[in-house]
Amino acid sequence: MTPEEREKALSQLPPARRAQIEQRLQNFEKLPPAVQERRLDRLERLNSLPPKRRNEVRRSMNQLQNLPDDRKRAINQELRRMSVMPDDERQAYMNTEEFRNRFSPDEQRMVGNLAEILPPKE
């Protein structure tokens, strides 16, 4: 988006919402390019999902943020580990006793939803 397009889009928002989005954009722009690219890729994957699945994944993202720090850390580590697996290997892994013993049913569902927006590995 050009600066002019961004300004036009932001000018149509209520002041509080505009300030919130501007802050998020500033935070994003401070990230290293590789991190920005990964986040944009995940956003594209999220937006390519059917609306119902997209809402489920968003709900899981919100649930993850509300978990205690130790559980949030465990799930993020698991997602990083799974990010190097091909999709079929991820699915097989999530059906193992090891995985099921480490995470509650709600956490398993959360990981499964969030794994949908991980980059595909071949």
The DSSP secondary structure of the chain, one letter per residue, reads --HHHHHHHHHTS-HHHHHHHHHHHHHHHHS-HHHHHHHHHHHHHHHHS-HHHHHHHHHHHHHHHTS-HHHHHHHHHHHHHHTTS-HHHHHHHHTSHHHHHHS-HHHHHHHHHHHTTSPP--
Q: What pLDDT does 5 receive?
A: 92
CA atoms within 13 A on the CB side of 24: 8
**Average pLDDT of span 93-100:** 95
Averaged pLDDT score across all residues of the chain: 93
Given a cut of 90, whether residue 121 has pLDDT beyond it is no
Q: Which residue has the tokens 């997209």?
A: 54
Over pLDDT 90: what percentage of the chain? 84
**Average pLDDT of span 50-68:** 95
Given a cut of 80, whether residue 51 has pLDDT beyond it is yes
Q: Which residue has better confidence, 107 or 2?
A: 107
Given a cut of 60, whether residue 122 has pLDDT beyond it is no
